[in-house]
Amino acid sequence: MVSISHVARKVLSCMPFVLVLFDLKYEGVKCGREGSVESHLEMGKKLLAAGQLADALSHFHAAVDGDPKNYMAYYRRATVYLAMGKSKSALPDLSRVIELKPDFTSARLQRGNLLLKQGKLDEAESDFKKVLKSNPSDKEQKEAQSQLTKSDEIQRLLAQAHSSFSSKDYMTAARLLVNVFLFQTCVWDVASRELRAECFIQMGEMGKAISDLKAASKLKSDNTKAFYKLSTIYYNLGDHEMSLNEVRECLKLDPDHKQCYSHYKQVKKLNKQIQSAEELIQEKRYEDAVSKYEAVMKTEPNVHHYSLHAKERICHALAQSQQASRAVSVCSEVLQSDPENVNALKDRAEAYVQEEQYEEAIKDYETASQHSENDRQIKEGLERAQRLLKQSQKRDYYKILGVKRTAQKKEIIKAYRKLAQQWHPDNFKDPEEKKKAEKKFIDIAQAKEVLTDPEMRTKFDHGEDPLDPESQQGGHHHPFHGGFHGFQGFNPFGSGSFNFKFGFN
C-alpha cells in the first residue's frame, strides 16, 4: 500500500516541470493573441483607407475582443463609426480610449467635438481645456481654442433664448436658436430643437415645429414626448393618418404611455370613420356616407379641420345623389369658412345645375378655375353650364312639361298627357286663343318626344337641342322627326278645322 506522504512527495517533485510547461503554453497563447490583434488592426487600417468601412469595422471589433485594453483598437473603431455617420456609437469608444490613455489628445478632441454637437457644452469645454493643457500639436491647439470660443458663444445665445422664451418672446427665442444651429456645432442638441419647436408652435408655424420635432425624435432613441407632440400637431392640422403613424411610434417605445394611448384611441376611431365614409362614397351609398360623416363631426367637434372636411364630403355626396337643395346649403357652409375650396365650389356648381340656376353654377365654376386652372372637370362643367344657360334662354323641355331634370319617363308621360288635354286646340274657340294653344300644344309634344327618347334627352342634358337645326351644326333636322306622336291627322302649318285623335303613348 502506497502512503499519502509518498504520493505528495512525488507530486511536489514534479511541480516545477508542470509550471514551466504551463508558463510556456500561456506565453504562446498570449503572443498568438497579440499577433492576431495587431493583424486585425493592420488589416482594418488598410480597409478603412480603401473605404471598405463595414469590413474594416469587423476587424476592429475582433481587435477589441482580442485585447479589451488596447486603446488603439477602440480609437480605430471609433474612427470607422464616425466615417459611417454613427456618432452615438463612436462616443463610448472615444471615452474608453481616454480612460485607457488620458493623454491621447486626438481622442479627447474628437470626443469634445461630439459632445458639443450634442449640446453638452460643459463636458465639451472640459475636454477642450484638457487638450490645451496637454502640450498638443499646433493644429490640435488651434482647433481646441476655436471650439472653446464657439462653445462660449453658444452658451451666451442659449441663455438669451431661454430668457426670451420665459418672457414669451417666442420670435426672438426662435431666432437665437436658429443662430445656435447655424454654427453647425450643436446640430444634435435635442433640448434646443425641442425648445425651438415649442417656439414655432406658439407662433403657429406648425411646419417648422414638425421639422424640429422629427429631428428630435431621431436624435433621442426613446423620445416619446416628441412623438406625442408630433401626433397632436398633425391631428390638429387635420392629418389623421400622419397623427396615427406618430402616436403608434410613441406606443412602440412605451405601450403603457397614458397620453399616447388615450390619443391613439381617439385618432384610430376617427380614422376608421373617415375611411368607412370614403368607402361608402366609392360604393355610391351616399346617404350612408352622409350619416358616417355626421358621426365624424360628433367624434371630433372641437377641431375645425375635421368638421370642415366632413361638410365638404357631405356636400359632395348630396350633389352626387341629386339632393341639390341640401347640397347647396352644406356646400355654402363650407365656402363661408374656406372660400377657395375647389371641391366645394365644383359640387355646389353641380347642385346649382340640378336646380337650373345656371348663372350661379357658372360663377362657381369660374371661381374654381381661378384656383385650379388645369382641372378638366371644372372646364367641362363650366362649358356645360354655359350651354344649358343659353339653352334655357331659348326653350327648356323640362320647364315646358313642368318636370324636374331628374324626372323618370313615367312622370314625363303623365305630365305630357295632362298638358296635352289642357292645351288641345279644340278646347278653344277664339281664333287668337286657338293660335296660342296650337303653339303650346306643339311645344308640349316636342318636349315629350325629346325627353322620352334616351338619345335625344342625353343631347339636351348636355346643352344641345336635338330639334333645333342650329344645334345640329347646320343640319336640317325636322322638328317632328320620326312622326308627331302627340296626335294624328294634324297639320300644324295647315288651315281649316282641326280633327285631333290623341295617341298618348
Rounded distance between C-alpha atoms, residue 354 and residue 128, angstroms = 77
pLDDT over 70 at 8, yes or no: no
Q: Which of 10-19, 186-195, 451-460 has the lowest mean pLDDT?
A: 10-19
What integer pLDDT is reported at residue 480 of this predicted model? 44
User: In this structure, is residue 485 part of a structural domain?
Assistant: yes
What integer pLDDT is reported at residue 183 of this predicted model? 52
**337/494: higher pLDDT:** 337
- E-strand ranges in 379-434 read none
Is residue 488 within 8 A of residue 501, CB to CB? The reply is: yes
Backbone angles phi, psi at 501, to 5 degrees: -125, 110
- Which residue do the cell numbers 463612436 mark? 90
Arithmetic mean of pLDDT, 60-85: 93
As for how many domains the chain has, the answer is: 1
Backbone angles phi, psi at 502, to 5 degrees: -75, 140
Is residue 87 within 8 A of residue 114, CB to CB? The reply is: yes
The CATH number of the domain holding residue 457 is 1.10.287.110
User: In this structure, is residue 246 part of a structural domain?
Assistant: no
User: In this structure, is residue 405 part of a structural domain?
Assistant: yes
Rounded distance between C-alpha atoms, residue 96 and residue 110, angstroms = 13
pLDDT over 50 at 26, yes or no: no
Rounded distance between C-alpha atoms, residue 401 and residue 230, angstroms = 60
The band of 453, judged by pLDDT with boundaries at 50, 70 and 90, is very high
pLDDT over 60 at 403, yes or no: yes
**439/488: higher pLDDT:** 439
pLDDT over 70 at 12, yes or no: no
Mean pLDDT of the chain: 85
Rounded distance between C-alpha atoms, residue 183 and residue 203, angstroms = 24
User: In this structure, is residue 66 part of a structural domain?
Assistant: no
Closest CA to 345 of 329, 359, 360, 365: 365
Percent of the chain at pLDDT exceeding 90: 67
Instruction: Classify each residue of 117-144 as buried b or exposed e, where b means 16 or more C-beta atoms within 10 Å of its C-beta.
Output: bbbbbeebbebbebbeebebeeebbebb
**24/258: higher pLDDT:** 258
Closest CA to 356 of 395, 385, 320, 397: 385
Over residues 479-498, the pLDDT tens digits come to 444 434 444 434 333 333 34
What integer pLDDT is reported at residue 2 of this predicted model? 46
Query: Where is 502: in which H helix or E strand?
Result: strand 501-502
Arithmetic mean of pLDDT, 456-473: 79
What integer pLDDT is reported at residue 188 of this predicted model? 82
Q: How many residues does the chain have?
A: 505
Q: Any residues with CB less than 8 A from the CB of 504 and at least 6 apart, and which? A: 413, 416, 417, 420
Rounded distance between C-alpha atoms, residue 342 and residue 279, angstroms = 22
The band of 114, judged by pLDDT with boundaries at 50, 70 and 90, is very high
User: In this structure, is residue 56 part of a structural domain?
Assistant: no
pLDDT over 60 at 269, yes or no: yes
Over residues 226-261, the pLDDT tens digits come to 999 999 999 999 999 999 999 999 999 999 999 999
User: In this structure, is residue 470 part of a structural domain?
Assistant: yes
Arithmetic mean of pLDDT, 390-407: 85
Over residues 75-97, the pLDDT tens digits come to 999 999 999 988 889 999 999 99
User: In this structure, is residue 434 part of a structural domain?
Assistant: yes
Arithmetic mean of pLDDT, 189-195: 90
What integer pLDDT is reported at residue 462 of this predicted model? 84
Rounded distance between C-alpha atoms, residue 167 and residue 281, angstroms = 50
First to last CA, the chain: 136
What integer pLDDT is reported at residue 178 of this predicted model? 84
What integer pLDDT is reported at residue 34 of this predicted model? 55
The band of 72, judged by pLDDT with boundaries at 50, 70 and 90, is very high
What integer pLDDT is reported at residue 124 of this predicted model? 93
- Which residue range is the domain that position 490 belongs to? 398-505
User: In this structure, is residue 326 part of a structural domain?
Assistant: no
What integer pLDDT is reported at residue 424 of this predicted model? 92
Is residue 34 within 8 A of residue 57, CB to CB? The reply is: no
What integer pLDDT is reported at residue 484 of this predicted model? 40
Percent of the chain at pLDDT exceeding 70: 85
